[in-house]
Structure 1
Amino acid sequence: MHILLTRPLEDCSEMILKFKSLGHQVSHIPLINIEKVNYEEIKFSEYGGIIFTSANAVKYLNQNNIDKNIKCFCVGNLTEKKARSSGFQNTIAAEGNVSNLKELILQTYETKSKKLLYVSGEIISVDLDQQLMKEGYGIKRVINYRVKHNQKFNESFVKDLKLNMPDMVYIYSQNSAQSFLSFVKNHQFESLWMNTNLSCIGEKTSSILNEIKWKKIFLFNPGEEEFLLYKI
């Protein structure tokens, strides 16, 4: 099976090796780059919990003065895995979307407790901090990374891809979906995906690519990539 992965290489190198070991052909097109954003110094002692809605939020947080036993709310298993590998001990994960994360916080964190620190990228799909404030929580949002869309792609890669279209494409964010749509339109091969399956994290992400005709569209959570291959 021919699989197209779209995350930055450092985020999918293990998956590339895994799929290749299973005998699949793997192509890779990094749709976005992640850049660190400088932010003001954080007094972590003021907060009773940290919210992470992506693994990149964990990656680009200066963790020198954090008590790693602080309660750590993660949007999904991939983010929790990154948090635990960074030394956070008291982690809890939702089921891969912000709505579930919000409910998890409402159920497990008292509004009268210390403020919550919400660490995220520059662009977010859900204003989680504003929603939690309406529920009575004290919360501060810190932006520590931004997404840059790749504009130029190797022409020989594009030519080879048109000659050997993938059986499955994985898209991990709305930012990546927007980049992918631009990539397809700029290289004028909107009509070549009818035999390709699309797998996206969340309906909002998949809806961006609805104007392309796909064989099937699947929704998944990180960690389910290999499982999805058995559905096609």
Structure 2
Amino acid sequence: MAAKSSSSLPLAGRRIVLTRPREQCAEWRAQLEAQGAEVIELPLIQVTKHYDKQTLVEVFAELTQYEWIVFTSANGARFFFEEFLKGFEDIRALGLVRIAVVGEATADVVRGYHLRVELQPKKANAEELAQAMIERESIDSAKVLVVTGNLNRDTLVEKLHEARAIVDTLPIYKTEETDLAQNPVAGDFRAKGADAILFASPSAAQSFFDQAAALKLGAKARRPLAGSIGATTTATMKQLGLPVDFEAPQANLGSLVEALLRKL
């Protein structure tokens, strides 16, 4: 059977902007290019491992005392296990702790270590995960570790506290805005615009808003449709006054690409 020509692919001739950190763009780029898109990488944020050493030592010393470890992002899960395996030779040092996650990408990181994901809500957000934990069983006095980042909202921890869980948090990474003022890709975006721009996190939306001057489109530039990966990102975009032209029904790449194809 003959392969499709590039001109017959659904996104042929379309410029799609990715706003994720550069090191997290490969899979997204590959999937969009497979549909014929011209992909523009405009990383609005950068994510780096960052933690307090004393806090990490204390958490690792008490690991077997936790009933649950909650990962709110793939970055948090990845950085946690990188540090865990520096201190422990065997993954079984985790003990009998159960693992809960927000989102399929985070679940994939956990499963990559041959660990079972005990709880993952249908909708990938912190509120849904907290509710799922509370409805599953009583967490009164249960000891819970939430692995998080510097910009994560407190909603999950607050809801678990309300259910009388004993919650420790382990901030293990930080998210920062990238400076796009002198970025040549930003210059190309200002001059030509795009058909769509994809937002995969509230922090990326915030960075886009904060750097409006560096991203202001020229008179002849194409005005992109704005896509959101899910409800949490959409809420931030609306709060900032950014348009939301389409939203992924499920908070994952495949669902976002499908929503993009439907919209275009």
Give the TM-score, by structure 1 length. Answer: 0.87
Residues 1:82 and 1:192: Cα distance change in structure 2 (over 3 Å) = farther
Task: Write the deviation string for residues 79-115 of structure 1: whole angstroms up to 9, x where unpaired.
Answer: 1112212332233212111111111111224324641
Of residues 229, 238, 248 in structure 2, which corresponds to 1:207? 238
CA distance in 1, matches of 2:43, 2:185: 12
| 1:40-59 correspondence runs (5 A) | 40=55, 41=57, 42=59, 43-59=62-78
Q: State the shift of 1:208 in Å.
A: 4.2
The separation in 2 between residues aligned to 1:179 and 1:141, in whole angstroms, is: 25
Separation of aligned partners in 2, 1:190 and 1:51: 44
Amino acid at match of 2:64: S
The structural deviation recorded for 1:162 is 2.6
- Going by fraction, where is strand more abundant, 1 or 2? 1
Q: CA deviation at 1:231?
A: 1.5
Aligned counterpart, 1:103: 131
Does the CA contact (< 8 Å) of 1:50 and 1:118 recur in 2?
A: yes
Q: In the TM superposition, what whole-angstrom CA distance separates every residue of 1:39-93 from its partner, at most 9, and x where no partner exists?
A: 3211210101111111111011122344276311111112111221233223321
Which segment drifts farther, 170-179 or 196-205? Answer: 196-205
Match of residue 100 from structure 2 = 73
Equivalent position of 1:231 in the other structure: 262
Letter in 2 for 1:78: A
Residue deviations 1:130-153 (CA, integer Å, cap 9, x gap): 221111111111111111111135
- After superposition, the C-alpha distances for 1:139-174 in whole angstroms (9 at most, x for unaligned) are 111111111111135443233223322111111222
1:186 Cα deviation from its structure 2 partner: 3.2
Number of residues of Structure 1 aligned to a counterpart in Structure 2: 229
Q: TM (normalized to structure 2)?
A: 0.78
Post-superposition shift, 1:183? 2.6
Q: Which residue of 2 aligns with 1:5?
A: 18
SS state of the match for residue 166, structure 1? Answer: coil
173-182 vs 110-119, which deviates more?
110-119
DSSP-derived class of the 2:211 partner: helix
| Partner of residue 84 from structure 2, selected from 45, 63, 73 | 63
The 4+ residue runs of structure 1 with deviation greater than 4 A are 190-194
Show the counterpart of 1:33: 46
Mapped to 2, the partners of 1:79 and 1:116 lie a distance apart of 18
Contact 1:69 1:88 in 2 (8 A): no
Percent of pairs with identical residues: 20
Residue in 2 aligned with 1:137?
A: 165
Cα RMSD after superposing both structures: 2.4
Equivalent in the alignment of 1:222? 252
C-alpha deviation, 1:190, in angstroms: 8.7
Q: For 2:178 and 2:219, how far apart are their aligned partners in 1?
A: 22
Q: Gaps (5+ residues) in structure 1? A: none
The CA distance in 1 between the partners of 2:220 and 2:176, in whole Å, is 26
Note the alpha carbon deviations across 1:13-33, whole angstroms, 9 max, x for none.
Answer: 111012112211100011111
Q: Contact 2:21–2:43 (CA<8 Å) still a contact in 1?
A: yes
Q: Determine helix, strand or coil for the equivalent of 1:88.
A: coil
1:187 offset after TM fit, Å? 4.2
Q: Which runs of 5+ in 2 are unaligned?
A: 1-13
Please report how far the alpha carbon of residue 3 of structure 1 lies from its aligned counterpart in structure 2 after TM superposition: 0.7
For residues 171-218 of structure 1, the C-alpha deviation after alignment (integer angstroms, 9 at most, x for no partner) is: 1222111111123323433988884211123232221442x5x5x522
- Which structure: larger Rg? 2
